[in-house]
Amino acid sequence: MAEAAQLPEGEHCAPPSFPYPYVQLDPEKAKLDGYAGYGKSKCSYGAFEAVIGQLREKIGYPYTHVPTQVLGWGGTGGGGWGTLCGALIGAATAINYTMPKSDADKVVSELFGWYCDHPFPEFMPEAGKALEYEGPIEKSVAKSPLCHVSVSVWCDASGLKAESKARSERCARVTADVAAKTVELLNQFHSKNFKAVYKNEVVDDCMICHGKGHSLENTRGMMDCEQCHTDVDPNNLVDHIKKSWDLL
């Protein structure tokens, strides 16, 4: 059996109370740190370290005890699977350090909604300072929080390859944008200026029947239904229901 790690003399071992404290952070610094973090250990670590690193500098303990390397797994949407965008995994985890889950869910949802609709990357490193690829990078709108969709929509928009240096550079810049947006939302939340504004009308329309408490209640979530269920026309739901019943 592995030996328990020994605490240095004088360190207290009571766990810090949760959630951890927060002070206003600098979104511009988060951008630069997110970008640099991507260079060290990819998107998920980059976004996480951009937020936790500033809190570590400004507050110290308990953030000095957060090993940000644990978010390394989130790169490529989690162990190489292309599920949730890794920058969102890191950012959502950072958000959850600073507030109870009931609040964190609202802020995370707002971040994911922003990610779906935002044309990025916006961040542009200084000339000569790019990680993998100099110059402007094609912007795209993912309409999804999934790594798979985000990357492939960008490949389509740019005509470039998913394993290219340009794609990696694009994701480094997306990490910078996500880190800055996260800090912006955290600053708003912790100064009582946060307001959830994200809405997806297609999802609302579908959930009238498929969502919680409604006649079918056979799905959950807020991802854009239309993006995958392309055979359902949200403007002709009567036809959808007719067709669906014909299938039975």
Beta carbon nearer to ligand HEC, 183 or 232: 232
Beta carbon nearer to ligand HEC, 184 or 205: 205
Q: Least separation, in Å, of the C-beta of 155 and ligand HEC?
A: 17
Closest-CA residue to 91 (of 43, 59, 125, 57): 43
Cβ contact 128:206 at 8 Å: no
The helix (H) or strand (E) run that includes residue 33 is helix 27-59
CA distance 58 to 23: 8
Beta carbon nearer to ligand HEC, 166 or 222: 222
CA distance 86 to 150: 11
**φ, ψ for residue 120, nearest 5 deg:** -135, 170
Q: Least separation, in Å, of the C-beta of 209 and ligand HEC?
A: 3
Distance of alpha carbon 197 from the chain centroid: 17
Q: Least separation, in Å, of the C-beta of 121 and ligand HEC?
A: 22
Q: Which residues bind ligand HEC (CB under 6 A)?
A: 202-203, 205-206, 208-210, 216, 218-219, 221, 223-225, 227-229, 232, 234, 237, 240-241, 244
- Angle, helices 27-59/86-97, rounded to nearest 10 degrees: 40
Take residue 243 and report the two structure tokens written for it. 């067709």
Q: Least separation, in Å, of the C-beta of 108 and ligand HEC?
A: 17
Secondary structure letter of residue 131 according to DSSP: S
Beta carbon nearer to ligand HEC, 139 or 240: 240
Q: Least separation, in Å, of the C-beta of 120 and ligand HEC?
A: 20
Beta carbon nearer to ligand HEC, 157 or 228: 228
